[in-house]
Structure 1
């Protein structure tokens, strides 16, 4: 079952669960970075500061002649930590996605496109992994986003994992590329959260639009 089918199924199940008891949580395998459900305990859902939306660009729907991003779809917006874990534990992680897939998690109402007004003047930090090796860092990145762990959290737009034949790349998108202080802080903090030792670079979206293989403006 693909990402879109999984999320549609989960959406249906969630509506059914709401009719039964909206606050009852089930047992599962959870990371302790964010509050996790405990069996049989009745309590209010944990709500992050922002709503977040998962977007999926299905490689089978892409066409060489289509406009970039035209096959991208917003597939689920979650508003609680419990919803996040339900989604995360029931969809494919990057190592299981098809080659060519792009999976995004962005703040609600921000589209993961250069053309989006919030993203237009921004840029991105990127980390590259061998094929099948980005799952842990993808989860850590999502937890950092949802848990508002960045000192310059208002600068964050979202994150994307790109799955390709020989590698996977996670990119962290930000709003104001020229705000060097904020970007350097975000890059350093992200590296620390991931436990990444190698140098990473920041590319301005404006540079990437003008030329393929744009150079890094910042590195940490």
Structure 2
């Protein structure tokens, strides 16, 4: 995990290539047939503004499959109107008053909606301004969820689902957790967790996509990374179970970078495990876990 996935490198290169193509077309519009037009490539390059040249003011945007919202909470935000800001230059926006939000209102009073985005460039602008998980205070959480979905079990998109999660000892993983969280977010917004979206069966992003959000949590002795799904298998739902297991396998191997056969459980550590939200409410009683 020493470099960004190739798909995201390609997206960044495509942003520059697209802008260059547009500028070239406009410059060549007045060229007579057979005439050779001198092109000032430096001038064109100077006019291209990506997130790498300025975090909030850029003229190249590549839309994501779905818009996303980042949420944040920590002990410092509880009982306050504004959080101890984890994002330096993005305005806070109020929690939308939907039926699902009202159902979780008590818990939602302490969670802050930071910002929404719908393009690759806006994601990097956000990422370049937030405090990484390794530097968050204890008991803090980042929640990256699809726009319109509240990061709570009570939300309609989450109530029948579950989550893949892994718990990692803090001291052994402090140097890796920021990269793991970045790659988890990239896999989520790039829709690489759920191959169903590229099978030709999906029609509408928010109704068909299995993934609703991803979370990183910091605790006194460990970090926890989670992927929430809108559905959880029960009984003999073999097709859904296979789809859920594919998410967990991709998470372990391609996102976190572990071999599929590697055992991860140990002191303060868990395997990559899936548990439905309904089973989570049972607090270990008759809960059925999937393990990758």
**Same fold by TM-score greater than 0.5:** yes
Q: TM-score, structure 1 length as denominator?
A: 0.78
Q: Quick one: distance in 1 between partners of 2:281 and 2:131?
A: 30
Q: Quick one: distance in 2 between partners of 1:188 and 1:181?
A: 10
Instruction: Compute the displacement of 1:58 (Å).
Output: 2.5
Q: Quick one: distance in 1 between partners of 2:252 and 2:70?
A: 23
Q: Within 5 Å, which residues of 2 pair with 1:65-214?
A: 67-131=106-170, 132=174, 133-150=176-193, 151-152=195-196, 154-178=209-233, 179-193=240-254, 194-196=256-258, 197=262, 198=264, 199-211=271-283
Residue 56, structure 1, aligned to residue 72, structure 2: yes
Q: Quick one: distance in 2 between partners of 1:213 and 1:107?
A: 31
Deviation per CA, 1:92-122, whole angstroms, max 9, x where unpaired?
1100111111101111101110000000010
Which range is displaced more, 110-119 or 200-209?
200-209
Aligned-partner SS, 1:51: strand
Gaps of 5+ in 2: 17-44, 50-58, 80-104, 198-208, 234-239, 265-270
Instruction: Compute the displacement of 1:33 (Å).
Output: 4.3
Higher helix proportion (structure 1 or 2): 2
**Computing the radius of gyration over CA atoms, which structure comes out larger, 1 or 2?**
2
Residues paired across the two proteins, number: 189
**RMSD (Å) for aligned C-alpha atoms:** 2.3
Q: Quick one: distance in 2 between partners of 1:33 and 1:136?
A: 16
Instruction: Compute the displacement of 1:152 (Å).
Output: 3.7
Q: Quick one: distance in 2 between partners of 1:68 and 1:148?
A: 28
Contact between 1:201 and 1:216, CA under 8 Å: does it hold in 2? no
Q: TM-score, structure 2 length as denominator?
A: 0.59
Which range is displaced more, 80-89 or 192-201?
192-201
